[in-house]
Structure formats: C-alpha cells, structure tokens
Amino acid sequence: MAGVRGYGGGIVGRFSDEPDEYPGVKEYHTARLNQIEGFFYTSDVLRKLADICDEHAGGLFNFHGSTGDIQILGFKQEEAEELFQKCTHLGFDLGGSGSALRTPSCCVGPARCEWATYDTLHITDNLTREFQNEMHRPTFNYKFKIKCAGCPNDCIASGARSDLSIVGVWKANIRIDQKEVAEYAKKFDIKKYVVDKCPTHCMDYTDGKLTIDDSNCVKCMHCINSMPKALRPGLEKGAQIRIGAKVPMVQDPRLGFILIPFYDVNKDKEEDYAFLKDLIQKIWDFWDEYGTNRERVGELIQRVGVGNFLEAIGLDPLPEMVEYPRANPFIKFEEYLVPDDEEEGKEG
C-alpha cells in the first residue's frame, strides 16, 4: 500500500502488473496536494514544488486534478514520507482521497470577479482547515465533496459534482445603470439577446429604458453576463446551498437539490461559519447513521426520503427544494383523525 504515516488518504497507489518487465514504474503513486484557494501561486513556490517533484517523483504534475488538488505523479512508497514532509515544510498538506471529505475548491470569486456575492476563497480555506481530520482520515461511507461558486454562473461546476454546493445569490434588485444600457444598445439588440432570453420574462426594454420585475427574477445571471457594465447583482448578498449532486456510481448521475435557498453567508462569516459547520456536521451525522458503504449522501436522501432527511437535520421543507411538487398521488400521510375525540393525531 501507498501512503504516509497517520493519514488514510491523499496518496493514490499504483503498482504495475508486470514489475519485472517495467521496473522503473513498478510503483507509480500519486500525491494529492491541497491546492491554494483560487489556484493562486507564486513563481517561488512553484519552483520549489518542481524541485520536490524532480527529486522524489517522476517530474510530472497535474495542475490541477479534477477535484482541485495539485497532483505529483510517479513516486515510490519509499519516497512518500520525505516528499510529504518537504511539501509540508513548503506549506502544503495532502488533499483528500478515499471515503473522506475531499479537498474543497472554489471559483476565483472576489479575487478577480465582480459578481461574487461572498468570499469563496475565505470560506473554502476556512472549511478546509476546520475539517482537516475528516479529510485526512477516511471514516465516511463514501466520498464527500464541497465546492463554492461565487454566483449562479457556477464557474467551479459545483452543481454537477459536489455533494454540497454553495452558490452565490442575492436578494435585492439588480442594479441598473441606464446610461451603460444605452451604450450596450448601440452594440447589440437588447430586446433580442437579453430581454427575450430572460427565463422568467421579467424584463422589459421599452423606449430605451430597461426595467426588471425582480420579484420574478430567478437570479440566473443571463442579463448581467450580457451587460456587465450596465447591470450588477443586487445587494443583500448570500448563497444557495445545494445537496446531493454526483456522477454515475452507484445509482446514476444526479444534480443536487436546493437545501437552503438563501444562506446569509456574509453574516455567518463573522461567526466563523458556525451555522454552516453545524449544518455540515448534522448532514454527516445523518449519513453516518443511515448510509451504507459506498452510498453518496444524495443516494441516501433519496432512499430514506427527503422529508425524513430534512426532519433529521432540522430544516423545513420548502418549494425551492423541488423542481416541482409531486405528481404522483401516493402520499404517505402521517396525521389522521381518531374516532373518539375527533382530534388530529400523529401515527404512533
């Protein structure tokens, strides 16, 4: 087996089936190094990583792995410990692998994007530090992924591949600069390319004036994307939390569903994300108690029922959680009236 002392993951072992014929790659392991949030580096630190990689591994990297880690490819188990310690001395730790929390990752967010409604780098860094143990010592039923996108464009593709996806969103009205709208109007047909494409048809452009019925806006970003100089996300910024996305194994691929339509992440930041951490812990506890081996949390929720899951983690059902309410009428009512007192009762 490949790995380092005290860690249950972070290194993926690979042994050749024909070690005698190919002694050079009889072992060819990969280390996952937790990337720097936002994928920001300095030349200095990169060169030092290159040196470590040359010295202890095959001189090959992935910048980055699909989860987000830096990967160092092609070392032998005997090099593992030194490679690891050199990395830690440079400030890098291992990322996740196996049935553990996987290395969280995020979009560039407020560092270089005007649309981020919260600090994606800060939250990702904070959660990563908080859950070092869950990342390095696999005790889950299966993997668990967290990704943070600053706005509904979801530039980290969190919605399709993270058990917990945090996506920035806002509440107040989209900020409109009519002068800049007029500038864009010179460049393209605003009615055709912006207004007519609004999914809820809540925009209007008449007599050179753009108006938005924000009460019907679903915060899709399209209009803002199209005219970044003229439109800006509304204030009252927060995030949406989705749960349960994953790719095919074992059940089939699925997108997540909205667990919290508006999470006041900027307020929670001031409290060291206490609310979020508590929520994550409750989800893990539930998964730990009811999940089976190799069952992602989304599959578990489907198996036991969304209602039961919500009850367990203490959230109320909301229409935002479903694409649409049920169409099939097989409702498992739990309340009923009892003949004697004609009072509403709960099933035993």
19 scored as a contact of other proteins (CB under 8 A): no
| Residues recorded for the chain | 348
One character per residue 309-328, x = contact with a copy of itself (rule: CB under 8 A) = ------------------xx
Shortest Cβ distance from residue 227 to other proteins (Å)?
9
CA distance 265 to 263: 5
User: Which residue among 153, 173, 266, 302 contacts ligand SRM (CB under 6 A)?
Assistant: 153
Extract the tokens encoding 45.
Answer: 């630190």
Region of 138-146, 227-235, 268-276, 278-286 interacting with other proteins (CB under 8 A):
227-235
CA distance 314 to 291: 18
Q: Is 294 left (phi over 0), alpha (psi -120 to 50) or beta?
A: left
Map the footprint of a copy of itself across residues 181-220, applying CB under 8 A.
196
CA distance 267 to 319: 24
Map the footprint of ligand SF4 across residues 182-201, applying CB under 6 A.
198-200
Tell me if 194 sits within 8 A of 187, measured CB to CB: no
CA distance 218 to 152: 10
Tell me if 292 sits within 8 A of 146, measured CB to CB: no
218 scored as a contact of ligand SF4 (CB under 6 A): yes
7 scored as a contact of other proteins (CB under 8 A): yes
CA distance 122 to 37: 8
Closer residue to a copy of itself, CB minimum distance, 331 or 338: 331
CA distance 207 to 217: 21
User: Which residue among 70, 100, 217, 313 contacts ligand SF4 (CB under 6 A)?
Assistant: 217
One character per residue 168-207, x = contact with ligand SRM (rule: CB under 6 A) = ----------------------------------------
Map the footprint of ligand SRM across residues 269-308, applying CB under 6 A.
296
If DSSP codes are grouped into helix, strand and coil, which group holds residue 8?
coil
Shortest Cβ distance from residue 217 to ligand SF4 (Å)?
3
186 scored as a contact of other proteins (CB under 8 A): no
Bridge partners, residue 260, by sequence:
241
What is the binding site for ligand SF4 (CB under 6 A)? 107-109, 113, 115-116, 149-151, 153-155, 198-200, 202-203, 212, 217-223
